[in-house]
Amino acid sequence: MDSSSTMALRSSSSSFSSASAFSVSHCPNPKPGYVSVPFNFNLRNPQSSFMFFKSLKCIQSSTPDSNPMKSIHPKNASSPFACSAVTFSPSQTADLVSSKLHRLVSEFQSISEPVDRVKRLLHYATLLPPLDESARNDSNRVMGCTAQVWLQAQLDQYGKMRFAADSDSEITRGFCSCLVWVLDGAAPEEVLKVKTEDLAYLNVGVPARERSRVNTWHNVLVSMQKRTKALVAEREGKKPPFEPFPSLVVTADGIEAKGSYAEAQAKYLLPDEFKVKELVDVLKAKNIGVVAHFYMDPEVQGILTAAQKQWPHIYISDSLVMADAALKMAKAGCKFITVLGVDFMSENVRAILDQAGFVDVGVFRMSNERIGCSLADAAASPSYMNYLEAASMSPPSLHVIYINTSLDTKAYAHELVPTITCTSSNVVQTILQAFAQVPDLNIWYGPDSYMGANIKELFQQMSKMTDEEITEIHPGHSRETIRSLLPQLHYYQDGTCIVHHLFGHEVVEKINEMYCDAFLTAHLEVPGEMFSLAMEAKRRGMGVVGSTQNILDFINQRVQEALDRNVDDHLQFVLGTESGMVTAIVAAVRDLLGSRISPSGLAKIKVEIVFPVSSDSMTRTSSQSSVKLGDVILPVIPGVAGGEGCSIHGGCASCPYMKMNSLSSLLEVCYQLPDEKNVLIAYEAQRFKLKTPNGKSVADVGCEPILHMRHFQATKQLPEKLVYQIRHANGNGSSMSLS
């Protein structure tokens, strides 16, 4: 790199002479009348974009070679870095940002050895002027980077963006140096036009185990763009388009609630000790186990979470693990199991206990009314059975049914089409393994339409990966096999969870505008827009898409990483699933933050959980201006189907069915046990006495798809019995005998 090139890079990087002083231009005597307008640019075919460099007025490096794609050798090449604020006459307009980005891509791709590319990146790190210590503060931090990264942004008097950045890691400083060079001095619309996938072409040779550092490219870019939008809006005198979502901020010292919705969630995170003792005493006295779903009412979850420390037979989890936990409690001697969830969950617990021989252990629901589920109801409809009738006509076929369905649905389905259950955390691997074992298979997924569409989109994305990348996901597949399975994968078109259905356009728009640089979590059941947003965040290490347990594990991992770094940090997570998850999240985060020995000098970690609830969800009416939830009176009314904080505007975040499981119901059931006077008949999870169309027990046939999944989880293979059923189905609208 020659001296003039070095000077150019230093000039382009040096957007700030201090924390508060912004340089206006890196070219002498800039003329405001000159403009830069974009032209179409494609990184895959960029040769034409270089021609305009010959006419630049302010290039300090040597004149470009007549062959712009000629390899640049690291030891003797002129740097592609030039003046960052070049001015053009109207006849010389061009897309400078895209061209500079291409020159950067071309440079790194032309260096053959990975170690030399890293050396070049480290060299650029030395050219990035450090920020003043006063600018290295929390408000300037870029979230999600392995190292600490600080970013400053400002609009100059000519309407151009000025950027400066710094990091405590040399590799990360190299990334920042390159991004500042590309975007400093650009018009806001040019900054916003760059996409994170454009940076994928920058192969800088960082080893796979250091891929988290490569995410810095993306996270710093997203932060640059978010701040650009805010500065443009501020200059134009526009108010922020959205109010912030409610959130809970958790620290080692306590919990802070922001917004009335968050306050309602937070009220029970520190439960009443007398209520905890009351529950523990009755559970111990009568040897009662409790299994509860993550989506419980916050009061119930708060009490149960505290009671766990005094009574081991309390478990809060996703739907699949509830039955496993109940079985362990029965083996440990519990005489009764109380189930806090919807009815198919208590049905599953009853059936699993019966299968294991614990027929004398009582299983009880929390309501004398039906506790429904929109998703389970969709699978119990004639439309779903018609879907499976069609599937049975296309052998070989496998029905992959979501665990969140009733036992009789599983039984009836299994007699039509060989069936295996799945969860949101194992559905992708289940489908991949099924295709690996039976390549000519047709797979029929249901009933969640959003999950089905998202799974199909996942495989579409996989079909564009390399064979090596696909093998890391599943060793039995390649790009060819993924492409071949796509037309053989079908999903039901008319089944949704009412909670996840409401993570719609308006909520996604707000997340994209205000929380694009936060960690984004999303259940696999959310609609496509939310799914795509979360997948983009996942690709740059800032998100997770999966089950409730996957979401909890992701948050725990990020918090633990922050603790290990031991630097002041603020982690912000958008909770893209039911708000009941917050109790388990806050409990886990507080355990992590409280697990450290606390001498002075330890870093301060803030963990913020954001509830993506539409402001329109908080609705008043003239006839009802408040609603009582437990002991709390809120100035809102329940929204869709009775779930507080719900609305058709998006962001329901609360399942009305789950909220039928109240603390008072739990205590009432517990006090009545053992039910010698039969007052709890309506609360008892009934055994299935019905027969399937083939004359078999619904309980026996309905459990078989669950057992098939258990086998898959243990061995990573479909059981031989299921493969035999697939291969020997009649293909005439009914399956072979499943005995």
Most confident listed range (211-225, 243-257, 313-327, 429-443): 429-443
Q: Is the pLDDT of residue 583 over 60?
A: yes
Q: Which domain holds residue 710?
A: 374-496+692-728
356 with 433, same domain?
A: no
- Least confident range of 139-153, 294-308, 385-399, 601-615: 601-615
699 with 672, same domain?
A: no
111 with 231, same domain?
A: yes
- Does residue 341 form part of some domain? yes
Q: ∠ CA(629), CA(631), CA(637), 5° rounding?
A: 25
Cis peptide before 396 (omega within 30 of 0): yes
Largest CA distance in the chain: 95
102 with 225, same domain?
A: yes
- Does residue 649 form part of some domain? no
229 with 104, same domain?
A: yes
Q: Is the pLDDT of residue 680 over 90?
A: yes
Q: Is the pLDDT of residue 62 over 80?
A: no
pLDDT value, residue 454: 85
pLDDT value, residue 209: 44
Most confident listed range (365-369, 516-520, 715-719, 727-731): 715-719
Comparing 650 with 469, the larger pLDDT belongs to 469
Best CA proximity match to 418, nearest among 716, 739, 703, 735 = 735
Residue numbers annotated as active site? 145
Rounded to whole angstroms, the Cα distance separating 192 from 409 reads 49
pLDDT value, residue 540: 81
The model's confidence at residue 732, banded by pLDDT at 50, 70 and 90, is: very low
C-beta separation of 413 from 437 below 8 A: no
Comparing 343 with 597, the larger pLDDT belongs to 343
pLDDT value, residue 203: 65
Rounded to whole angstroms, the Cα distance separating 163 from 188 reads 12
DSSP reduced 3-state for 498? helix
489 with 514, same domain?
A: no
The mean pLDDT value of the chain amounts to: 77
Looking at the chain, the whole-number percentage of residues with pLDDT higher than 70 is 74
* Residue after which a domain boundary falls, among 614, 639, 669: 614
Q: Is the pLDDT of residue 22 over 70?
A: no
- Does residue 677 form part of some domain? yes
114 with 222, same domain?
A: yes
The model's confidence at residue 78, banded by pLDDT at 50, 70 and 90, is: very low
Question: Which CATH number belongs to the domain containing residue 517 in this structure?
Answer: 3.40.50.10800
221 with 288, same domain?
A: no
505 with 433, same domain?
A: no
Q: Is the pLDDT of residue 734 over 80?
A: no
Element (H, E) at 529: helix 528-539
Average pLDDT over residues 130-138: 90
pLDDT value, residue 296: 77
Using the CB atoms, write b or e for 419-428: b if 16+ within 10 Å: bbbbbbbbbb
Average pLDDT over residues 331-351: 92
Instruction: Let me know if 334 is exposed, middle or buried by CB neighbors in 10 A (0-12, 13-18, 19+).
Output: buried
Question: Which CATH number belongs to the domain containing residue 142 in this structure?
Answer: 3.90.1010.10
The model's confidence at residue 1, banded by pLDDT at 50, 70 and 90, is: very low
The model's confidence at residue 536, banded by pLDDT at 50, 70 and 90, is: confident
C-beta separation of 300 from 666 below 8 A: yes
Q: Is the pLDDT of residue 636 over 50?
A: no
Q: Is the pLDDT of residue 114 over 90?
A: no
492 with 504, same domain?
A: no
491 with 505, same domain?
A: no
Cis peptide before 30 (omega within 30 of 0): no
Which H, E and C letters describe 72-107, residue by residue?
CCCCCCCCCCCCCCCCCCHHHCCCHHHHHHHHHHHH
- Does residue 666 form part of some domain? yes
For 266, 536, 633, 634, the CA distances from 625, given in Å and listed in that order, are 21, 40, 10, 8
Rounded to whole angstroms, the Cα distance separating 332 from 686 reads 23
Q: Is the pLDDT of residue 183 over 90?
A: yes
- Does residue 90 form part of some domain? no
- Does residue 262 form part of some domain? no
Comparing 395 with 616, the larger pLDDT belongs to 395
pLDDT value, residue 214: 56
For 399, 467, 717, the CA distances from 476, given in Å and listed in that order, are 20, 10, 11
Please report which residue ranges of 111-210 form alpha helices under DSSP H.
Answer: 114-126, 170-183, 188-193
591 with 462, same domain?
A: no
- Strand 419-422 to strand 569-576: parallel, antiparallel, or no bridges (unpaired)? unpaired
For 392, 407, 695, the CA distances from 699, given in Å and listed in that order, are 22, 7, 12
Number of neighbours of residue 529 by Cβ within 10 angstroms: 17
Number of neighbours of residue 724 by Cβ within 10 angstroms: 12
- Does residue 44 form part of some domain? no
- Supply the pTM of this predicted model: 0.63
Comparing 47 with 324, the larger pLDDT belongs to 324
* Residue after which a domain boundary falls, among 561, 589, 614: 614
Q: Is the pLDDT of residue 212 over 90?
A: no
Average pLDDT over residues 63-73: 31
What are the tens digits of pLDDT across the range 480-510? 999 999 999 999 987 766 554 555 566 777 8
- Least confident range of 4-18, 66-80, 293-307, 543-557: 66-80
The structural domain count of the chain equals 4
pLDDT value, residue 512: 80
- Least confident range of 87-91, 329-333, 677-681, 719-723: 87-91
- Least confident range of 198-202, 341-345, 735-739: 735-739
pLDDT value, residue 245: 83
Comparing 667 with 629, the larger pLDDT belongs to 667
- Does residue 47 form part of some domain? no
pLDDT value, residue 729: 78
Task: Provide the phi-psi class of 695: left if phi over 0, else alpha when psi is between -120 and 50, else beta.
Answer: left
What are the tens digits of pLDDT across the range 654-664? 566 677 788 99
